[in-house]
């Protein structure tokens, strides 16, 4: 059985006290911030536990990734783009 790294990543992230994280992508890019939401995969389609993550700068984490005008901040990252 293949390891679902999205679940491992989820459990490790949400058990920790410091929610600021540096995510390394497969293309070599690094993003620092906090996760404010995530997209759960569909089990019937054999998707991973989490398919995408919404990461924002730490200063926006209490706003759930939405600025004062109602526009999203940060970016959405596909689980498949994260370096394991």
* Confidence band of 77 (pLDDT split at 50, 70, 90): very high
Please tell me the predicted confidence (pLDDT) of residue 78.
95
Q: What's the mean pLDDT in 16-41?
A: 91
Please tell me the predicted confidence (pLDDT) of residue 30.
96
- Contacts with 83 (C-beta within 8 Å, 6 or more apart), sequence order: 24, 25, 26
Q: What's the mean pLDDT in 10-17?
A: 86
d(CA 53, CA 68) in angstroms, rounded, equals: 21
Q: Are 48 and 6 in contact (CB under 8 A)?
A: yes
* Confidence band of 14 (pLDDT split at 50, 70, 90): confident
Averaged confidence pLDDT in the chain: 89
The model's pTM is: 0.83
- Contacts with 58 (C-beta within 8 Å, 6 or more apart), sequence order: 20, 33, 34
Q: Are 40 and 79 in contact (CB under 8 A)?
A: no
């Amino acid at each position: 059985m293949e390891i679902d790294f999205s679940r491992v990543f989820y459990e490790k992230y949400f058990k920790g006290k410091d929610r600021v994280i540096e995510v390394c992508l497969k293309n070599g890019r690094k993003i620092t911030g906090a996760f404010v939401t995530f997209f759960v995969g569909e089990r019937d389609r054999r998707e991973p536990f989490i398919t995408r993550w919404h990461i924002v700068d730490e200063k926006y984490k209490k706003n759930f990734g939405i600025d004062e005008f109602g526009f999203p901040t940060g970016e959405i990252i596909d689980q498949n783009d994260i370096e394991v």
